[in-house]
Amino acid sequence: MTQTEEHAVYSVDGTRISYFTVGSGPAVLIVGGTLRRANDYLPLANALSRDFQVHVIERRGRGGSGPQGTSYGIEREVEDVRAVLEQTKTPRLFGHSFGGLVALQVAAGDPRLTQVAAYEPAVSMAGSIPTTWLPDYEQLLRRGDRRGAFAHLVRGSGHAPAALSRMPFRCTKLALAVGVRGERWSQMASLLEQSALEHAEVQQLDGQLLRYGSVTAQVVLMAGERSPASVSASFPDLERLIPDCNCLTIPGLSHTAPDEGAPSEVAAHLRAVFARRPATWC
């Protein structure tokens, strides 16, 4: 495994943003999803590192980065990513889930970004990414029922297996407690409040697609064949709005492919995507 180095930069509001670097060559920045930290994407980064220098941002509210803060919103996420892009002079961006939404928001305001790949970005159209579960989730967090909040998220997000969604709620909660535990649960449990704010941003941005028409980067929207149709509901509109945009469905993959399901396979597709256009930071 290639050696990983940790670096840091300060965002516009003074928040420390940590990021990890592995490999050498043309630069790529990875932006992860909700309930995820940078370490979840190191297998993907390592798979790419033989061809690229890969940076993985530790989004605010995680690890060595500062807190989300009282003024949290998508604007802070965009500022954080831009700070890393500017320090690393990186023209290529890959975002997964909520990180894909952030990546597209960055691309809409920065012409220096030349290539963007977004795997099932959290771009919602007419409620295609459901958030009706969010009030119950937040209430359970306030009560200290973190397992119950997590069960609401899993059932409400649309990614849960059908059998898990059909169970009585208490059974879903118990099944998840058995299936998600140890270090994996500790990390997810520590990010539940952050996830609430991130999903609120998805809800607020629902249907607001027009600004993506200003994207000048080459964009590839990626989805797994086994994921629910809701994850790609916005793709036709994005493809029409973004001047250079293509869609790619990858057989056999699901929503968690970039971080835990099939990082090597996702890396193979990213190599092909990023080989399409020479890119430099201007």
Shared-domain flag, residues 157 and 236: no
**In-domain check, residue 238:** yes
Answer for the pair 11, 83: CB distance below 8 angstroms, yes or no: yes
**How would residue 163 be classed by pLDDT, with cut points 50, 70 and 90?**
confident
* Alpha-carbon gap, residue 261 to 258, rounded angstroms: 6
* Helical residues (DSSP H) of the chain, grouped into ranges: 42-48, 74-88, 98-109, 134-143, 146-156, 162-166, 169-179, 182-189, 192-204, 235-241, 263-274
* pLDDT one-digit tens code per residue, 111-120: 999 999 999 9
Cα 83 versus chain centre, distance: 17
Q: What is residue 68's predicted lDDT score, i.e. its pLDDT?
A: 98
Pairing state between β 92-96 and 27-31: parallel
Average pLDDT of every residue of the chain: 94
Shared-domain flag, residues 194 and 222: no
* pLDDT one-digit tens code per residue, 179-229: 999 999 999 999 999 999 999 999 999 999 999 999 999 999 999 999 999
Q: Which domain holds residue 141?
A: 134-201
Answer for the pair 20, 70: CB distance below 8 angstroms, yes or no: no
Domain boundary among 144, 169, 201: 201
Shared-domain flag, residues 10 and 58: yes
Answer for the pair 94, 103: CB distance below 8 angstroms, yes or no: yes
* pLDDT one-digit tens code per residue, 71-113: 999 999 999 999 999 999 999 999 999 999 999 999 998 999 9
**How would residue 282 be classed by pLDDT, with cut points 50, 70 and 90?**
low
Answer for the pair 96, 41: CB distance below 8 angstroms, yes or no: yes
Domain boundary among 201, 223, 256: 201
* pLDDT one-digit tens code per residue, 118-162: 999 999 999 999 999 999 999 999 999 999 999 999 988 877 777
Shared-domain flag, residues 194 and 80: no
C-alpha torsion sign, points 150, 102, 162, 41: negative
Shared-domain flag, residues 191 and 240: no
* Alpha-carbon gap, residue 11 to 65, rounded angstroms: 10
Shared-domain flag, residues 141 and 162: yes
Domain boundary among 177, 201, 225: 201
How many residues in the chain?
Answer: 282
Maximal CA-CA distance, the chain: 55
Q: What is residue 171's predicted lDDT score, i.e. its pLDDT?
A: 92
Q: What count of Cα atoms within 13 Å lies in the side-chain half-sphere of residue 17?
A: 27
Domain count, the chain: 2
21 burial via Cβ count (<10 Å: 0-12, 13-18, 19+): buried
- Please determine, for residue 279, whether its predicted confidence score (pLDDT) is greater than 90: no
